[in-house]
Amino acid sequence: MKIWVDDGFCRGHGMCLTLCPEVFTLTDDGYAEAITSDIPPEFEAATREAIECCPEQAIKER
């Protein structure tokens, strides 16, 4: 599973960080980014939850 955060949509709510802090972090600009674009299998379920819960649909799957 590969993902990326589109900073054109991200509004920095932080929902993704709450749901999966192993994968998402906030940049100094206040937008989320993926620590790794290649998600380890053990974090895929939490990452999918973050994708579904992102209010801006900013997390994209490659």
Name the residues that contact ligand SF4, by CB under 6 A.
5, 10-16, 32, 54-56, 58-59
Nearer to ligand SF4, 40 or 55 (CB): 55
Nearer to ligand SF4, 4 or 40 (CB): 4
CA distances from 41 to 2, 23, 29, 31 (A): 11, 12, 29, 24
Least Å distance, CB 21 to ligand SF4, is 11
Least Å distance, CB 24 to ligand SF4, is 6
Alpha-carbon distance of 62 to 59, in angstroms, equals: 10
* Other beta carbons within 10 Å of 8: 8
